[in-house]
Amino acid sequence: MSETLLESSFAISGTFIHSTITSPLVILSDHCIGVISGKIVFIQKNDNKINDVLEKYNIDVGNIICLKGLQFVIPGFVDTHIHAPQYSNCGKCLDEDMLSWLHKYTFPTEAKFADLDFATKQYWKVVSRVVKNGTTTASYFGTIHTNSTLKLCDVIQSIGQRGIVGKVNMNRNSPDYYKENTTISVQETKRYVQEVVMRKYTLIRPCITPRYAGNCCMGLMKQLGQIARSNEIHVQTHIAETTEECDMVRKHFPENESYLDIYNEAGLLTRKTVLAHGIYLTPEDRKLIRERNCGISHCPNSNISIRSGMLDVRACLDDNISVGLGTDISGGYSPSILDAMRTAIFTSNTIALHKGPNYKPLDYQDVFRLATLGGAKVLDMEDHIGNFEVGKAFDALLVDPCVDGGPIDVFREDTMEDIIQKFIFLGDDRNILSVFVAGNDILENFVRQISSPNDGI
Ligand SMILES: [Zn+2]
């Protein structure tokens, strides 16, 4: 897919903080990053060579953004698992366990998205909200409705966010008002993928999205696997989120060796596959996930809020499994990846309390990497986004820890490490002044002008 081709070229000068494969937190003080047509063309220390570099890339002084005070720039956040149609339930409906929650709250809410006007207004709300919170790339579940999921793509493209977007498939174990038959489900999925390709979105990729094995029969999943592989597109689904769900799925597929084996038989496991949750996987399952190069989306707020369980992320990382963070709206009540970082640490610390002193819980540097480069890897986009490297897209957040009326107090003795740590634990959307996607400040250009929190519904 091509990027948004911006003619503009500019540079940003100041402090940059990002992760690399070898280090979860790298601070580049007094550096300058050059961006042309949305891509990073140089990363240069502000030394006596900087003027030559600026001249080489034809960037004049008027096109340099100089960061002020303690401002810094970080890579944009990657939300590897979010249900856009569930946003209106964010912050409520958390009194049921997952399977009951689906039937009582989620299916009735998602069924309303057959109405395109309703869907459009709801999708503006959710995409605007997650962009304000610094999410530059998100992997979205839509609903079973093809046209309203295409509306979601339109909204994401209009706002300028980067998205992987899937029309949901479900042909069993859901109410009649929110279910497809196998033939329609396959036909509509093919139509959805063709339509996304035809519309030539610059920032959006289609995704095959069987809700989970409990909602899809093997015949449907095999055909979906075929569509995913023949088009080389992403797959997203849920796995091993709760023990009740694992028991239910195993009853439906007694022939399969494990939950993951169901998806494997269907041909749904590729390096572009995002598996949400994965709390109750067996060691053999984890081995297969690594072999297939699938990624796991860790959604800690959701896992605690609807009491699903706790994923041992440290064990996954030790097994060389790719892990990113997800909000899982609205099982998770927060649209913010900053919240996902904090709840990932809380979950990890809780596991550490049980495992004892030799267990190494996740720290703020670990979750910073999961939220950026880790998420990019889970989405098989790490060659393209996730940190600051020449040739990658400039997807980034300009953060001001000292914004007036903001949530952070910085003290004289605070180092840059202290300040990024305070931002991770205390920061919110007030601290995020710019949200760049492919070099385009979408917060400035779109969200503030088009949408206010209370209009539209
Ligand atoms: Zn989910």
Q: Is the pLDDT of residue 451 over 60?
A: no
Longest dimension (CA), the chain: 69
Euclidean distance between CA atoms 381 and 437, whole angstroms: 14
pLDDT in tens, 53-97: 999 999 999 999 999 999 999 999 999 999 999 999 999 999 998
- The CA-atom distances, in angstroms, between 384 and each of 310, 394, 437 are 31, 9, 12
85 alpha carbon to ligand 1 midpoint, in Å?
A: 11
238 alpha carbon to ligand 1 midpoint, in Å?
A: 6
Euclidean distance between CA atoms 302 and 111, whole angstroms: 21
Euclidean distance between CA atoms 170 and 178, whole angstroms: 8
Q: Which of 319-323, 331-335, 389-393, 445-449 has the lowest mean pLDDT?
A: 445-449
Q: Where are the beta strands (DSSP E) in 265-304?
A: 273-277, 295-298
Average pLDDT over residues 273-283: 97
Q: Which of 20-24, 43-47, 293-297, 447-451 has the lowest mean pLDDT?
A: 447-451
pLDDT of residue 449: 59
pLDDT in tens, 232-243: 999 999 999 999
430 alpha carbon to ligand 1 midpoint, in Å?
A: 27
**Which strand (E) or helix (H) includes residue 183?**
helix 182-198
Model confidence at 2, pLDDT cuts 50, 70, 90, reads very low
138 alpha carbon to ligand 1 midpoint, in Å?
A: 13
Model confidence at 447, pLDDT cuts 50, 70, 90, reads low
Euclidean distance between CA atoms 265 and 256, whole angstroms: 8
88 alpha carbon to ligand 1 midpoint, in Å?
A: 15
- Could you give the dihedral angle defined by the CA atoms of residues 396, 402, 406 and 412, in that order, rounded to the nearest 10 degrees? 130
pLDDT in tens, 200-229: 999 999 999 999 999 999 999 999 999 999
Q: Is the pLDDT of residue 185 over 60?
A: yes
166 alpha carbon to ligand 1 midpoint, in Å?
A: 12
Half-sphere exposure of 367 (CA within 13 A, CB side): 27
- The CA-atom distances, in angstroms, between 14 and each of 43, 87, 160, 366, 412 are 11, 36, 25, 24, 19
Euclidean distance between CA atoms 132 and 135, whole angstroms: 7
81 alpha carbon to ligand 1 midpoint, in Å?
A: 6
- The CA-atom distances, in angstroms, between 228 and each of 205, 236, 294, 325, 393 are 12, 10, 14, 23, 25
SS3 track for 372-429: HHHHHHHCCCCCCCCCCCCCCECCEEEECCCCCCCCCCCCCCCCHHHHHHHHHHHCCH
Share of the chain above pLDDT 70, in %: 96
Model confidence at 444, pLDDT cuts 50, 70, 90, reads confident
263 alpha carbon to ligand 1 midpoint, in Å?
A: 16
92 alpha carbon to ligand 1 midpoint, in Å?
A: 16
- The CA-atom distances, in angstroms, between 106 and each of 7, 92, 102, 336, 450 are 43, 11, 5, 20, 28
101 alpha carbon to ligand 1 midpoint, in Å?
A: 12
Closest CA to 64 of 109, 31, 97: 31
The pair of structure tokens assigned to 227 is 């569509």
83 alpha carbon to ligand 1 midpoint, in Å?
A: 6
Average pLDDT over residues 135-161: 97
The pair of structure tokens assigned to 57 is 């890339």
Average pLDDT in the chain: 95
Report the DSSP beta bridge partners of residue 425. none
pLDDT of residue 5: 39
237 alpha carbon to ligand 1 midpoint, in Å?
A: 8
Q: Is the pLDDT of residue 3 over 80?
A: no
Euclidean distance between CA atoms 85 and 152, whole angstroms: 9
317 alpha carbon to ligand 1 midpoint, in Å?
A: 21
Residue 72: helix, strand or coil by DSSP?
strand
Could you write out the DSSP letters of every residue in 101-155? HIIIIIHHHHHGGGSHHHHHHHHHHHHHHHHHTTEEEEEEE--S-HHHHHHHHHH
pLDDT in tens, 168-179: 999 999 999 999
What domains does the chain contain, in order, with CATH numbers? 9-75+388-450 (2.30.40.10), 77-378 (3.20.20.140)
pLDDT of residue 165: 98
Model confidence at 44, pLDDT cuts 50, 70, 90, reads very high
Model confidence at 110, pLDDT cuts 50, 70, 90, reads very high
